[in-house]
Amino acid sequence: MRMLQLTANTGPEECCLAVRKALAQVLRECEAASVRVELLEQVDSDVRGNLRSVLLALEGDGAERVASRWSGSLLWICPSPYRPRHGRKNWFIGGAVFDAGEAGEGSGELDDADIRFEAVRASGPGGQHVNKTDSAVRATHVPSGLSVKVQTERSQHANKRLARALLAHKLANAAEVAASAERQQRWQSHRAVPRGLAQRTFVGERFVERLACS
């Protein structure tokens, strides 16, 4: 399993719209590559439908290839749809890839004996099915008190697997932050996307990729 994070960081609303468009493109690429994708977390922005950040779990033979294409600085070139007279047209977002399959395993950082799983009722949109099932899972890392909730799947077994991966990701994040100021700065891709050399460039309202040779 690979985890892919897309983030607008502290950028303006145009960057949050770029995350929304990038997510749609990721889903199309995953479908074309027969890669299974699950939305683990999302942070909404001030404009409905736009996203400050998303965290995805990708599984399948092509997961690493798809995820690696979204790692780094991503550029969207388009006039602002929110500020027509604004001169800026370049909007940067960030992509980061994490190996969820190995996070915490064999390192002593995440022991299954330290995880408490609870079946909880799913919440949010989803109609009658969500209201009648208890397939959602809350996983708590007892030593640290860190807790996550996953309800993307309809079976507790699948949600437990994703919850463990998400918990491992969060624990690894916390460990990086605590290690040192230098490692903390490296880990905080949420806060600063480097501008300049973009991993991929997209153009216009349709978010069409500009190839390197064009």
Contact 73, 46 (CB under 8 A): no
Q: What is the DSSP letter of 142?
A: T
CA distance 42 to 124: 13
Q: 10 Å Cβ neighbour count for 71?
A: 18
25-39, 100-114, 144-158, 186-200, range with greatest mean pLDDT: 25-39
Q: Is the pLDDT of residue 179 over 60?
A: no
Annotate 58-102 with DSSP letters as a single string: EESTTHHHHHHTT-EEEEEE---SS-TT----EEEEEEEEEETTT
Q: Which residues contact 113 (CB under 8 A, 6 or more apart)?
A: none
Tens digit of pLDDT for each residue in 92-149?
999 999 876 444 443 445 777 888 888 877 665 443 333 345 678 888 888 888 888 8
Least trusted range by pLDDT, from 86-95, 129-138, 184-193:
184-193
Give, for 116, the enclosing helix (H) or strand (E): strand 115-120
Domains and CATH numbers, the chain: 2-102+189-210 (3.30.70.1660), 112-179 (3.30.160.20)
Q: Looking at per-residue confidence, does 72 or 105 come out higher?
A: 72
Q: What is the pLDDT of residue 109?
A: 57
Instruction: pLDDT band for 183, please (50, 70, 90 cuts).
Output: very low
What's the mean per-residue pLDDT of the chain? 80
Q: 10 Å Cβ neighbour count for 7?
A: 25
Instruction: pLDDT band for 165, please (50, 70, 90 cuts).
Output: confident
pTM of the complete model beyond 0.85: no
Instruction: pLDDT band for 213, please (50, 70, 90 cuts).
Output: low
Contact 93, 18 (CB under 8 A): yes
Residue type for position 117: F
CA distance 152 to 122: 9
